[in-house]
Amino acid sequence: MKSINKYKKFLIILFLLFLIDSAGYYVILRPHRRELKNLSEIVHNKTENYTSKNSKVSTSNDSQSYASQSREQIEKFNAILPDKDELARIIGELFSFIDKENMALKKVTYQPKQIKEVNLLDYSANFTITGDYGSVKRLLNEIEWSANLFSIKKLHLEKKPEDRSVELNFTLSIFLRSNKGLM
């Protein structure tokens, strides 16, 4: 009999704990979950409205219109990308940037690479130049704001202890259109 009374007390205590836990959930957590759900819906609606107003690309599911937009964008890109015959002019522009900053050009190497999927040429040009730190910053700024499409792959700056100059080694990708252009 005593063991049955112990189990009854245990079951009653367990039932009371369950009631307290359930009441705590409904009193404390449930209102906050509703509030969190409402806030997430508000954020989602505002984000959706912002992207639909500021999106330049059509959100229609018509694959043909998307394909034609892609072709137009590639044609615009082709129009501004220099032809492979303009490599000498582009390298001359880089040399003029270096001369403008009174930097000494020590070494230049080129390595052309054809990107066959898109008929694009990638000329990797490796430069080693010396000058003061301010001229290095201005040179990199000139490259950044150039009208040509450059991508700096590698950049290494080293201070020369014998004088107050720095040596800059950088690898630059120069992207050019092959005769056919993209596509």
Cβ–Cβ < 8 Å for 144, 122: no
84 versus 26: the higher-pLDDT residue is: 84
Cβ–Cβ < 8 Å for 81, 122: no
d(CA 106, CA 165): 13
Helices (H) and strands (E) in the chain, counts: 5, 4
Q: What angle do CA 70, 121, 177 make, to 5 degrees?
A: 55
- The domains located in the chain, with CATH, are 82-177 (3.30.70.60)
Tens of pLDDT along 56-115? 554 445 778 888 888 888 778 777 788 888 888 888 998 999 999 989 888 888 888 887
Give the pLDDT band of residue 183 (cuts 50, 70, 90). very low
From the CB of residue 182, how many other CB atoms can be counted at a distance below 10 Å?
Answer: 16
- Residue 67 phi/psi, 5-degree rounding, is -65, -40
**Burial zone of 105 (CB within 10 Å; 0-12 exposed, 13-18 middle, 19+ buried):** middle
